[in-house]
Structure 1
């Protein structure tokens, strides 16, 4: 397949120029089974999922395992505060850049296409941040490297997510999203296992290995995608467009607002658990820091096994039945139940049982979440921008959770992870309730 697709008028690749007037009409709306992109080769879905996996491996491993491990060895007494500062700053950065890069992607007029330049360029920029992290020796060097990683891989991630609206028909979207989400769960296992297996004295490898894999898999999608090439010049950029990049009217687009709120709250629940998982294992379960990465890897394996099984199962069920809301609501309740088990666990075994329940619940949730979000988009024409706003719902928790965690962890003298997990339960329940008012999706 040629990496240089034929030019189009912001519609379908391979279109006949004689039909330009027809193609200038609005593209398919988000509720239909049509997509604006061109037919893809057989390898496209494989490369799409592989890139999704690679970007999740890079950002998830670095943010969830490598950086916490650096702080645990750098200064054990301040590791929680250092991680909160780093996660909060990184969260602010990624919130700003993701919708903006998504909108720039929508407007891109390159012979390479709308998404491909951002996929490759973002991966290369992210790799620069990985190198900074690999040789960082202070908190602020870690913060700088994490900012660059978030900007680079965040740009690539925004473009990859936009392909769900550009290239994936509604009839298979839940299944494709389920497999992609399952790959992200698998990335957690692979990433945690990598960090546990790599030498404690080789900090550079904790970052270079997952970062290089993320960049490589993104490059494969770059070469395997037949992208939309925009030839119709977009309207001139105005300052009001900057505000619109981060905003959709919640009154006019109520279903989008409720779906967005649901994802925000559910993500806050899971981020509350995942961000501080290593420290919970060390401080709450009493595992030595030298052994904690191994226990974390086993915990994530258990989480991901339940996650993948339920993701694939409920993705199939959702596409067969056309139902999304009931699955979301039930998964949120199950996640809250699993967190209760984890909090009350007297030992590592029962804690892992609770995490297995949470993983299964999250699998059921993510199997339909992305499909639901694409079905409440206003249009596909600005899918990059709108999915950038969607991305805020799982990036904002990277900022909010560390801010909320600081006073919660301080309750009772410090390191109060029970209070943090209770907050995670509340977030899960509120997320389940938020999906109920949605009208346009069953």
Structure 2
């Protein structure tokens, strides 16, 4: 299944473009599922059809689904209370009534990750179009599965779980309480769920489609978002310039200023992105007719996979070079820290901890340079770890 993740700055028309994209793909003959994330039914307003927790047929080949984060939170807590019933009874704790609960911060994001996993596992559609939150929240959401799995592995390393059978004995010998069996089981369950969501995000058939209004603010947001996506190794297939003004504006109109900014931004975007311009209809698009009038692209064949190659320059310079594409990065805002077999990369407000390729784990960092949007990190073989030539 192919996946198109749609995001952009707040107020750029992401939901409308997501709905128009899904509609275009369905009318091209692709079985499409449109996944919404807003608690308010903005997706249904764009489609002209109410959407909710149950998948809703919109027209042949197109289904819309807006998971209920509140219900998912209540169901999850109820299941947790059931699993911990013996401990709760022992403590004399009163159980919480699911109906009295309101979702905690982050419940929407967790509901979306579960929905991504469920949609991929169902295999009922050929294309999944996801209306993500605004770009800053979307970047944090897309990073969550990898980061949470990393935390779980650090707290409960899989290789140490073999000691679970010896837990009672170890507890008596050490004189300290050992982690309960339920903790390991919960960690394994969470890891599987996060791995499924991470697999959808990292899949080679998954792309991110950016939406922004052409102008100074939109340009700043696109630059920041592209950098955040690049650090995560995610690829964009298109930059959708939304609400593009018509060119035939009278010379004495107040729109001449915004139109000039629009032209300049579109020219710059076309130098670095595959741009699709959608017209300003003069009103908020509502219903299938308006969405079709936008002419949004459906499935697009562009966007090469993002690669972080290691270049062998041992014969020439005695180093291996790891090239990390970071378009838009500024040298002053970059930071690198080697920690064990991991490299901590910070670019502006974004940060990622990545495992080193196997060959680089036997090397020491010998320097780094940023040129033309690519960070080149040089690694010199560590004589104590590198195999010696005879």
**TM-score, normalised with respect to structure 2:** 0.24
Higher strand share: 2
Higher helix share: 1
Which of 1 and 2 has higher RCO (CA within 8 Å, sep 6+)?
A: 1
**TM-score, normalised with respect to structure 1:** 0.22
> Higher Cα Rg: structure 1 or 2?
2
